Amino acid sequence: MGVCCSKGTGITVENGTDDSNEHRDREAEVRDTNDGAIIRSRGSSKHVSMAIKQGKKGINQDAMTVWENFGGEEDMIFCGVFDGHGPMGHKISR
């Protein structure tokens, strides 16, 4: 049916540290790369959250990804939403 991705524009840290690589969602699908990039296909971090809503027609064929530190740049984020079609659309979109 649909997907949602949001990114905060600023953070406030009180009585703690700002660890931008912290993986807070235990069920998140996260991959760290050698150049420091963080690729997320589900879940949330301190700066990004993603959610999906299942439609009534069957398998959700939408997928999304957030790639933090894209291209090795610390302040670069790539957000992609992919819309699958056909009998294998749910696999193709991922």
Could you read off the pLDDT of 41-81 as tens digits, one per residue? 666 666 676 666 766 777 766 777 777 788 888 888 888 87
Report the pLDDT value the prediction gives residue 28, as an integer from 0 to 100.
53
Q: What is the pTM of this model?
A: 0.47
Range of the domain at 37: 27-92
Contact 55, 63 (CB under 8 A): no
Whether residue 76 lies inside any domain: the answer is yes
* Domain presence at residue 18: no
Specify if 55 maps to a domain: yes
pLDDT band, residue 37 (cuts 50/70/90): low
Q: What percent of the chain has pLDDT over 90?
A: 0
Q: 93: Cβ–Cβ under 8 A, 6 or more apart, which residues?
A: 61, 62, 63, 82, 83, 84
Residues 91, 66, 4, 2, Cα dihedral to 10°:
-20
Return the pLDDT at 12: 52
**Dihedral through CA 42, CA 43, CA 45, CA 48, nearest 10?**
70
Residue 85 within any structural domain of the chain: yes
In a domain, 10, yes or no: no
Domain count, the chain: 1
More confident position, 31 or 64:
64
Is the pLDDT at 16 greater than 50? The verdict is no
**77 falls within a domain:** yes
Q: How far is CA 51 from CA 4, 43, 64, in A?
A: 5, 7, 9
Residue 11 lies in a domain: no
